[in-house]
Amino acid sequence: MHSLIEYKDAQKQLSLKEKVGQFFMPAAFINDSEEEIQELEKLISEHCVGSLCFFHSRASAATNFEGKKEVIYNANSFDLLKKMIHRYQKAAKYPLLIAIDAEWGLAMRIENTPQYPYAITLGAIQDQNELLFEVGKNIAHDCKVAGIHWNLGPVLDINNNPDNPVIGYRSFGEHKLEVTAKAHAFVKGTESQGVLTSIKHFPGHGDTATDSHLELPLIEKSKEALFSNELYPFQKIIDEGVDSVMIGHLSVPSLTDGSLISSSISKHIIKGTLRTEMGFRGVVISDALNMHAVTKNYPIKGELEWLAFDAGNDVLCFTEHVSEGIAAILKNADAAQIDESFERVWRLKEKGIVSITGSNEELSDADLLNSKIAEASLTLVKGTEKDIAAFREEGYQSVSIKKEGETLTNKEIQDKIKALEAQISNENILLLLTPPKVKPADNFEISEQELAFIHKLIETKKVVLYVFGNPYVLNLIQTKATTAVVCVYQNLKAFQRYAGMHFLGNVKANGKLPVTIKDLN
């Protein structure tokens, strides 16, 4: 990989067109064909592209809006990633800044890599934010091993809408002080390894029921309310110092003098709220510019890229029209505007690239840290430890509902439920529920028949329920008649072990729900 020249030399050496090329962050796909790889190499070389954001494949959710195409499993994705980073760096005239979404580890994008708990799980931890520091540190270590400089996280959205289709489990919770403290620890852990961070999705995607991959969410809160709550974590982390802020695709009229324009192309929000009122001086990166919240309104190639840059974005993430975008910026922007963003971007490169070029170290061991997190997060939502002990001593029968990722036809579901009903021979039922999906769409893909079966058990038996998934699933379940409800949050092996130890009375539940669940008692 070429060495990065200092900013003072870059300012003189790069042409205006090359400087503009540094603002562009196209998507790179780990499982691309050779032809597609060569096309991106050509794009990097010809347009002096400044950065790349890696995704699994062109069929993944980030590109395909929730899986209309089958995502092919590739056990060798991590090795491919490292090789592709090397190839793309060789194609670049100046070193590329390599980014990825690794909110819960490289496993968010790459098979057979360490997976750490979702933010909502970390949100349940009480008074042990050093664990979040360790999560940020371990994920950053794995990024370094791959040759990645920039983890596009953490999420600072306060998730106060249980129907949020896209944030939910990616948020630390609904309480601004907890979100702030946990995000701060995660950021500091990441920084301890020299990896860059990006707090997102400014000015807050938590209180929406719309997925900005598909439509533009509308947030109708007053400016005062936003500064008191949604913007609070952003302000605190900005005050502490942070590398970058990612702008979400959100319509927030109270911050735009009544306009319904997306925050990602709003000068009021980026140059006004974020820079002038909140004092942020670092790099501003857009959320993916391929998302339908914005693309559907700007069909002319290059128009959206210009609007995003002119509004104040320094890095244009997942832009699909690099050549046209560069031409539009060169046509419309003056040299001073370009140089201002160029300095911020190059300074970020100086910070992020210098010490991270990949390494021969091993990836982190997630299991040890995940065990500590399982112990700290597992939450007794209803009932007491004594209730569970009495239940256990009376004798019980275990019943498992669903497996993560399981998809069955209606006939298969009916047959499964009939088989379970035939097997039940005890009045005490230890009910183990693993929602197939972590997102709330279609009731987390728990069928109506399965919900009816769960409710029948609760009504007719003595039930202790353990949930290995998103706690919002409890909003679907009538839990009043249960003996106890325990939220385990994840179905990772460490969490399974700890849940078993808890049920057997060997350990206590130390966590607290980070979100509100209706009608628990």
263: how many CB neighbours lie within 10 A of its CB? 32
The C-alpha atoms of residue 245 and residue 232 are separated, in whole angstroms, by: 14
**Is the separation of the CB atoms in 113 and 80 below 8 Å?**
no
User: One of 201, 287, 321, 502 is an active-site residue; which one?
Assistant: 287
Distance (Å, rounded) from C-alpha 15 to C-alpha 316? Answer: 19
Output DSSP code: residue 271.
Answer: I
Q: Report the length, in residues, of the chain.
A: 521
Using DSSP's 3-state secondary structure scheme, residue 486 falls into strand
Per the DSSP assignment, residues forming a β-bridge with 382 are 485
SS3 per-residue string spanning 185-254:
HHHHHHHCCCCEEEEEEECCCCCCCCCCCCCCCECCCCHHHHHHCCCHHHHHHHHHCCCEEEECCCECHH
- Report how far apart, in Å, the C-alpha atoms of 3 and of each of 6, 91, 143, 159 are: 10, 13, 19, 42
Q: CA-CA distance, 404 to 409, in Å (whole number)?
A: 15
Q: Which residue has the tokens 């990006």?
A: 198
Say which of 205, 213, 321, 502 is annotated catalytic.
213
Contact 54, 97 (CB under 8 A): no
Q: How far apart are CA 152 and CA 131, in angstroms?
A: 20
Instruction: Note if 213 is an active site residue.
Output: yes
* Whether the Cβ atoms of residue 182 and residue 122 lie closer than 8 Å to each other: yes
CB 216 within 8 A of CB 251: yes
Backbone angles phi, psi at 152, to 5 degrees: -80, 70
Written as one letter, the residue type at 90 is K
Whether 519 is a known active-site residue: answer no
Buried b (16+ CB within 10 A) or exposed e, 25-64: bbbbbbbbeeeebeebbebbeebbbbbbbbbbbbbbebbe
Q: What gap in Å lies between CA 373 and CA 121, rounded to an integer?
A: 8
CB 131 within 8 A of CB 84: no
Which are the catalytic amino acids?
213, 287
